[in-house]
Structure 1
Amino acid sequence: MNELDEETREEIFSIIAKAIENENIYESVNKYKTDITVLNSEQSSFGAFEFILGVNVAANLFNGREIYMDLFVKISDKSKSNRKIFRRQKHTYTEIFWNIHQFLMHKHMSSQFDFIDIWPIPFKMFSTDTREVLIYNKLSEIGYTFPLNKFSAPKLMNYGVLAMLAKFHAVSFAFREQKPEEFSALVKEWNKETTPEEILSKHPNVCAILKTGLKMTIDMLKEEQKTDLVDKIKNDFKNGALAVITKVLSERPDDCVVVHGDLWLNNIMVKNKVYDSTTEMNLKFINWELSTIHSPALDLAYYIYFTISEEPHEIFEHYVEYYYKEFHAYLIKYESDPDKSFPFLKLLDHLSKYSIYALIMTLSAVPFITVNSLYVKNESVIEGKNDENCGKYQKYERLKYSNLRKEVKDFVSKKIISVLELHYKYFSG
């Protein structure tokens, strides 16, 4: 689905209105409504798996009042695989997160996980003749916005993200350790529909991003005469990017936690753009399509590789140590023994084993996101060309690094070389 034309827009708006009429979550609307209107969308974007639409819904009540609801709607073309992805997302929110929250309530610590209550909760999922649809509440309604820069954040925000990530991993770890049967049952049901490795290996858009991004990275390194890095990448990915991803994600360690799986700034929202002086920042992690159980090192490396822009190889150790300090403290608070269950050396071992997942996702996605952000602005990223006659992923697949504009090359090469130097400084290649 490459665009939202007027016919599709009307179809989707009628679907949303009907879904809200039949959904008990808005009791006051159901009890008093006379009419529900879906207003014009205020924002929209393409994800790798779906078209994401932000809409405002107006309801006229019997007593003459009007109420407004902000919603996020994820829409994909109708297919069995897309339906599985949406079902898995709903299970993540309504079962995995809910049970973690209940675990803390029994410890009288539910306030420690209060951010779960206002993550975008999917309250309606359904299929039409042509679409798969998942409806959420929208965080912008309560003051949350996306960071302006997709690849870089202030240091204070990095600390806030790492602290929240440590808290989430710690409570997940404690839940698995203290309620193993409940945890196993939830995960078994979670993976019944599909798994992240299946999603990544079978989705054509993702395959296009991985293949083209890796090729563009190698072409860039050749042009920059970084032959040592070319050799290391070719050796690490000799069987292709998907083979590496599948291997890492399928090798789930015994001491695993629930991980986000795709934690970069486009999947983090900040309340009112306020970066205060504490690590308890108003942050929300969203878009949990690739969430799974794995080592906490998976999320840690992913965020650092994707986001840290200021010479990351110089501050990598500092951020890893900061994350573990927070993780260690939260595990103690949640009545688990970090020194016995997950010592610092184990985190370092997991980083060595699994950070290659973060590496390939970064190498593949950075060129794509950079290129796509310019297409959104109707600018050409290619010297002397502006191709508007094909879809986003088709455009990207046809790109070559040698044809990119100089400023695009400069950004992509600086970011990718910095990440590669970080990775191969600490891990084999």
Structure 2
Amino acid sequence: MTQTSDAILARMMALHPKIIDLTLDRVWRLLDRLGNPQNDLPPVIHIAGTNGKGSTQAMIRAGLEGAGKRVHAYTSPHLVRFHERIRLSGELISEAYLTEVLDECYAANDGAPITYFEITTVAALLAFARTPADYTLLEVGLGGRLDATNVIDTPDLTIITPVDLDHQQFLGDTLGDIAGEKAGILKRGVAGIIGPQKDAAMDVIEARAARVGAPLMAHGQHWHVTTEAGRLVFQDETGLLDLPLPALPGPHQIQNAGAVLSALRSLRFGEAACEAAMTNAEWPARMQRMRSGKLADLAPNAELWIDGGHNPAAGDAIAATLAGLPPRDTYVICGMLNTKDISGFLRPIADHAASLTALSIPGETATLPAETTAKAAEGVGIPSRTAPDIRTALQSISEASPDARILICGSLYFAGHVLRENG
């Protein structure tokens, strides 16, 4: 009987008792057994940071593809199907090829302890090494220094998006600790593009760069980005770019766009690639407008948005995006994991929320109970209630306020559940 990728992935989940266990030893062992495919990748752009990694990757991919380049891309987590994590030369990996590389990695691992993320990352690297392309975009899963993607000796470029507090149980309690982990992707002689950072993070990143000999191209020093008259204006030592605003919504995308443009210019791409990066990027569940589907049909007159952000900096970004939209009563539907700072996430959103409906995330053992989410919302001043499921929540809001703005948020896992339900 032919194995499906889902069946192999389920087996892989049992290979290590911990979901997250940061070390590279198991990854190096498996890569060695497979002939070290990480050494045969098309030129690599490695992206770390707390927020904006996925959006930044999406814009760089759009820019490179706009210049006619074939691009591999690796991202996590997925929203609806695992295949979203691995894009081969512009296309999502096929079921047949995904099954093949997963099976090969599972066999080569021979039952040894290895985490799900580690073995699936190795499978992605194997697929990338065997498929021709011009560039490989690798998004860090967690941290950087000990992340399974950090096995490339000499990438073409590294990028660190804004660093903030998240995953403290794995990366450290302070901004400096976390920045140190992110800065672990910097490599000797490889330019590092650095997005806007708080001083505590920037100090650590600069110290690490000096120690390893990595030249930096930092926001506010080597490049600047702003908006003017509905356009994006970028400047570096090469000169000025006047471009359309990013297709990805929200004021926080301006700083991500700046890092993207700095990266493309460092790689010697011209204005056509830079414009494509702004206009052609798509990235689901990042202030995505849901205009159709089974769930959208339950609130036909509402303005429906979905965002997977889940930490205080993401709350700030969502709040800034809402502030830039035309005034409208905004009703929040929220599901979160119990590892997140829920009050820190919701506090910035409180000024824009008429109410919050809390849900537990179906199928997630680490979900925060709906009652706990509702209590936290009340604690930051948002009137709240619970609902048993997303359909009930949407119908309830739509019946009470048909023309509402509805924001679904709190977790990429919750966003993935909602997008699957929407069809």
Q: Which bin holds the TM-score, normalised by the shorter protein?
A: under 0.3
Greater helix percent: which structure?
1
